[in-house]
Amino acid sequence: MLLSFRAHRAVCYSARRVMQKIQQSFQVRYSYPVVFTRRALSVENEALRAVLPPPGRSPHKALLVVDSGVEAARPGTVSGALDWARANSDVLVLAGEPLVVAGGEACKSRPELVERVHGLVRERGLCRQSFVWIIGGGAVLDACGYAAATAHRGMRVLRMPTTLLAQNDAGIGVKNGVNVLGRKNFVGTFAPPFAVVNDLDFLETLEPRDLRSGMAEAVKVAAIKDAGFFGWLHAERARLARFDSEALERLALRCAELHLEHIRSGDPFETGSSRPLDFGHWSAHGLEQATGGELRHGEAVAVGIALDSLYASRMGLLGAPEASMVLETLSDMGLSLFHPALESLDIPGALCEFQEHIGGELTITLPSGLGRKVEVHEVDASVMKECVRELARRAGGIEK
């Protein structure tokens, strides 16, 4: 009886004290190299070896994943990686056969790919400090990066991006993701890589549309962040349209620098509502979903940039000559500025999905002069619809 009386007082006492609060707070510092090189898998090239940590008592273990599109276009990539690993077996050993996976957007919608990577990590006894070494385009990096980030709650990822878009954007940042429930990148994590090695030689076998896709992301970041770079892209658009390798290299490097600078100085894990690097992306994601991956990400982004540049111009944020320069740069690079699916795009619905994904208030980044940006929180759907019609007219040749 006495015992239960004491217990009761204790309950009353704790109920009177509203709460006990312990404020947890810590910072985690991230640092990873992004290296540009050529012939990265050659045993004479030190780049890959240099980004790996010194081995402990035994060499690091790795699961090698290769995009089948890369192996098809450049036979010998898998064997080159195996030779590299053999020559550097004091630092890295491959745990079993490489996994060659079908590349392209479709791989992000296949849950079995993520399960396969998880299964191999378990079967081959890889630990959290082992590497998942991924050679491929942005889609394979996103899907397998997601698998690596969730196995053991996060393994080390060594990325070797093989497309222009992956070398200057998708493969160098802190995100991964897969398409679930019909939504692009609905499931994914923020997980900085251990290291990124960009081998520019991979660009030699890319299809023209994939080279142009990477250029679209460069136009995007230049238009809102770097007037000088934008001026260069505009001036060199003919050389870029011919895929001049020196011009492509310069584009890749500056675009990567701008993306990395933004991640470093901005909001790397996107806790706020704004995502400046997604200029042109709200409609691009809608188009990618509507066309079932028929459009490459960068191709959809080009349409999105054109649309939002026209909108910015109509709203008095960007001068008409500057908006024309953006459209001209993209179009002269060989990118299409319209897709029929744009006409049936549900503008409020696509904006709402974009807002839901980023969280908080709707925030769209628009150029406010070349190399500068402004954030808007409302979009006039009727003006946007008029911009869609203008792009359709231009594509139909009625207006240039």
Q: Which of 130, 198, 213, 283 binds ligand NAD (CB under 6 A)?
A: 213
Asked if 248 and 164 count as a contact pair (C-beta separation under 8 A), the reply is yes
Residues touching ligand NAD, count (CB under 6 A): 31
What does the block give as tokens for 278?
Answer: 């997604």
Q: Counting contacts by CB under 6 A, is residue 138 touching ligand NAD?
A: yes
User: Which whole-number Å values give the CA distances from 21 to 10, 15, 16, 25, 63, in the listed order?
Assistant: 19, 14, 15, 13, 43
Nearer to ligand NAD, 60 or 296 (CB): 296
Of 223, 250, 226, give the one whose Cα is nearest residue 236: 250
Distance CA 81, CA 134 (A): 11
User: Which whole-number Å values give the CA distances from 264 to 144, 192, 207, 228, 341, in the listed order?
Assistant: 24, 12, 31, 21, 35
Q: Counting contacts by CB under 6 A, is residue 354 touching ligand NAD?
A: no
Q: Taking the CA atoms of the chain, what radius of gyration do you get in angstroms?
A: 24
CB of 312 to ligand NAD, least distance (A): 22
Q: Which of 73, 180, 253, 392 binds ligand NAD (CB under 6 A)?
A: 73
CB of 134 to ligand NAD, least distance (A): 11
What does the block give as tokens for 265?
Answer: 């100085």
* Residue of minimal Cβ distance to ligand NAD: 69
What does the block give as tokens for 337?
Answer: 């500025």
Binding map of ligand NAD across residues 100-119, x = CB under 6 A, - = no contact: ---xxx--x-----------
Quick check: helix, strand or coil at residue 74? coil
Distance CA 154, CA 156 (A): 7
What does the block give as tokens for 257?
Answer: 């620098």
Q: Counting contacts by CB under 6 A, is residue 283 touching ligand NAD?
A: no
Nearer to ligand NAD, 36 or 124 (CB): 36
Q: Counting contacts by CB under 6 A, is residue 270 touching ligand NAD?
A: no
Q: Counting contacts by CB under 6 A, is residue 268 touching ligand NAD?
A: no
Q: Which residues on adjacent β-strands are paired with residue 100?
A: 66
Q: Counting contacts by CB under 6 A, is residue 205 touching ligand NAD?
A: yes
Site for ligand NAD in 148-177 (CB under 6 A): 162-163, 165-166, 169-170, 173, 175-176
What residue ranges bind ligand NAD (CB under 6 A)?
67, 69-70, 73, 103-105, 108, 136-140, 142, 162-163, 165-166, 169-170, 173, 175-176, 202, 205-206, 210, 213, 296-298
